[in-house]
Amino acid sequence: MAQGREVFQRVVADPDALAELTVVRASASLGLDLEGEDVLGISWDAHIVATGDQLPADAFTIRHPRLDPAWTFDFDDSDAMARRLPRPAALYMD
């Protein structure tokens, strides 16, 4: 999502297209995993800057659609990753 709507929609339609993203390729070459924690903090930080106050502890509710049951597999299983996401897997497994 941090890459914009167009990239988000393309990757939702074709998850294997993650391998085309510069940030994914650069992270893989450095052996880094991409995580979304920094993105989740943007609204928190913006609120503090704008108001000077912390958000209440119950301020965040993350809503997301249910995952397609076909994507219920062990993401740490290198064989499953290579079958399902061959191009990103190749970046990280080389």
- Domain containing 35: what range? 5-93
Confirm if 45 and 38 have CB atoms less than 8 A apart: no
Pick from 3-12, 15-24, 32-41, 79-88: least confident: 32-41
Would the pLDDT of 32 be above 70? yes
Place of tokens 């990753």: 81
**Number of separate domains in the chain:** 1
Q: What is the pTM of this model?
A: 0.68
Q: How confident is the model at residue 87 (pLDDT cuts 50, 70, 90)?
A: very high
Please give the angle made by the CA atoms of 5, 12 and 65, to the nearest 5 degrees.
95
Contacts within 8 Å (CB) and 24+ apart, 36-44: 36/1, 36/2, 39/1, 39/2
Residues of the chain with pLDDT > 90, as a percent, come to 48
